[in-house]
Amino acid sequence: MIDDRTKLTIKAMIWINVIMYVVSLLFSKGLHLTLNPLAALAPSSNALIFLGASGTMALEYTHDWSSIFTANWLHGSLLHILFNMMALRTLAPLTAKEFGLYRMVSIYILSGAGGFLLSCLGGVPLTIGASAGLCGLIGALFYFGKSRGGIWGKMVFNQTKSWILSLVLIGLILPNINNWGHGGGFAAGFILAFLFGYEENRKSGKADILICAGLSAFTCFLLFRSILQGLELILA
């Protein structure tokens, strides 16, 4: 069971993703209506760039490396955000249980940034989506399962292996999957889990609260700024 504070935080994370998706649709000049479920209700590339998409093409236009933080909260279609939010509802509670709420949020934000940083270095032109942060949570749980051991540790480890296999298959089968972002997010989550530790070997403390609060405030500031900048461009 997870406490009410964790439930509220996860709901807030989901709502921020949803709000940014709706804003991206409102900023688009026309909705992308298609029978292809992978592209249904897709925001325009320009709207996504205004709102903080990352990648080499976006950086060439905006020259704003803070997009590695904002891209984690944007999505390219209705199916894209539905799939990622379902994954977040599954992964976030388990990660919060083992690492504490504050470390879970920090891992999600920093892993997303790590995934999009690697995407830029790998030459991905335009990239968005919560999957980099989600892969960070998987990476953290992979570390936890391997490090903890025992029956529970092995169960978590085996579950993460199945998630990793699913990600690899999705990356091979579906078009336009950012494997750089997935790999970078996973690696960042694994490293952060090692650095932060989990609840059984180190209880969450003031440092974890401060890191989480700082990252959350910084991310909210960037997202709010991106909305204002998009409004200025549209109304100009």
Using one digit for the tens of pLDDT, what is the confidence trace for 38-72?
667 889 998 999 899 999 999 998 899 999 999 99
Comparing CA positions, the residue from 109, 57, 73 lying closest to residue 225 is 73
What's the DSSP call for residue 177? -
Q: Please tell me which residue in 24, 106, 119, 182 is annotated as part of the active site.
A: 182
Global pTM value: 0.94
Classified as helix, coil or strand, 16 is helix
> Where residue 34 falls among pLDDT bands split at 50, 70, 90?
low
How much is the average pLDDT of 207-229?
96
Provide the pLDDT for residue 38. 60
Determine whether 216 is an active site residue.
no
Using one digit for the tens of pLDDT, what is the confidence trace for 2-18?
889 999 999 999 999 99
Q: Please tell me which residue in 131, 204, 216, 226 is annotated as part of the active site.
A: 131
Query: Is the model's pLDDT at 33 over the cut of 60?
Result: no
* The two structure tokens encoding residue 153: 């540790």
Given its phi and psi angles, is residue 41 left (phi above 0), alpha (psi -120 to 50 degrees) or beta? Answer: left
Q: List the CATH code of the domain at 4-235.
A: 1.20.1540.10
Burial class (CB in 10 A: 0-12, 13-18, 19+), 35: exposed
Determine whether 182 is an active site residue.
yes
How far is it, in rounded angstroms, from Cα 159 to Cα 114? 23
Using one digit for the tens of pLDDT, what is the confidence trace for 133-191?
999 999 999 999 999 999 999 999 999 999 999 998 988 888 789 999 999 999 999 99
Using one digit for the tens of pLDDT, what is the confidence trace for 68-120?
999 999 999 999 999 999 999 999 999 999 999 999 999 999 999 999 999 99
Residue spans per domain, the chain? 4-235
Q: Are 142 and 164 in contact (CB under 8 A)?
A: yes
